[in-house]
Amino acid sequence: MKKINYLEIIKRAFLLSWRNKFLWVFGFFIFLGSMGSNSDVIFRQLAIDENNQNTQVFFDFAQKDPGLFMVIGLLLLIFGIMVFLLKIVSVTAVIKSANNIKLYSQLPLLKIFNESRKYLWKLLLLGILIGLSLFAIAILLIIPIFYLFIIKAQLFGFMMTFLAFVIFVPLVVLGVYLNKYAYLFLILGDFGIRTSLELAYVTLAKNIKESLIMGVISLGLGMLVMILTMVVGVFIFGLVGTLGFLANMLFAKIGMIVVGTIGGIFGGIVLVSLLSWYAVFMQTTWLLFFQEISFEKDKEKKKTMERVEAGMEVSDPGVV
């Protein structure tokens, strides 16, 4: 296995994602889908903090007009599902476009979207399969822990809890990597779900060290972007606040409102653009890393892929 130049991968991903701003449209839906997946935190907070004024207003509205509350809840659920599906299609669009940027940069966004949409149900089923597998394992690990605590065997219960944690965390990490690599095999190689998972496992097994390093780098990049987003947000807030104060002195309250509105819109566009770029950047980074570790022209890799695919030929790396 050749040495991976992580810095070069990050540099190439940055340049590709920055120069091809049409990908930011898909990055926006990836960002929006990621935000939607964290919306359960809000509802958990509402359930926990019952004395909060906003929580009380929420429950009062639900009791006062349950019909309207259910309609709004249903609409939000439908919207959340649509955003989640758009995220999957957008991830596919970014991967396919970044893999052959010369071709896809010339195509209309709608055509890229329609081409990416054909992978939706396979990718959705792949995610459900991995998620259900992890859920089933979690249930199997939790049941004996509950039983030990029920029979008052606290010491063994705590020991079993620690053992379950040690077992389950690596399995979650394995599931994340299998899902990521199977995604790429399914999209780039147009394989089936089973074949993609098998190829993903082979790739991960042969590159476990490199994959873990890339994962740590991704976490570091995510933290840097989060800090950068906070700095940019504070800067914009301070700038708008200063200009609003001056506008209030010169043009009274209406000036402050105008400056605040324009500044808020500008700040929102800047922050959303930054996060949309970051979503494209991370997908591109993993794609370039995947290209480094997967489609190698050596006999061992060809034999593995031939054995897994049962005779199906894998496209040349330059084409895939």
Token pair for 292: 């480094």
**Per-residue pLDDT of the chain in tens (320 residues, 90 and over written 9):** 458 889 999 999 999 999 999 999 999 999 998 876 555 544 555 455 555 565 666 666 667 777 777 888 888 889 889 999 999 999 999 999 999 999 998 999 999 999 999 999 999 999 999 999 999 999 999 999 998 888 888 888 889 999 999 999 999 999 999 999 999 999 998 899 999 999 999 999 999 999 999 999 999 999 999 999 999 989 988 888 888 888 878 777 787 888 888 888 998 999 999 999 999 999 999 999 999 887 654 444 455 555 555 554 444 443 33
Query: Whole-angstrom Cα distance, residue 189 to residue 163?
Result: 38
By residue count, the chain amounts to: 320
The confidence score (pLDDT) of residue 277 equals 95
Q: Give the amino acid at 112.
A: I
Q: What is the pLDDT of residue 152?
A: 82
Residue 102: CA count within 13 A, CB half-sphere:
2
Distance between CA 250 and CA 65 in Å, rounded? 46
Which pLDDT value is given to residue 307?
A: 58
d(CA 259, CA 253): 10
pLDDT in the model for residue 259: 83
32 CB-near residues (< 8 Å, 6+ apart): 83, 86, 87
First to last CA, the chain: 20
Spatial separation of the C-alpha atoms in residues 14 and 182, rounded to whole Å? 24
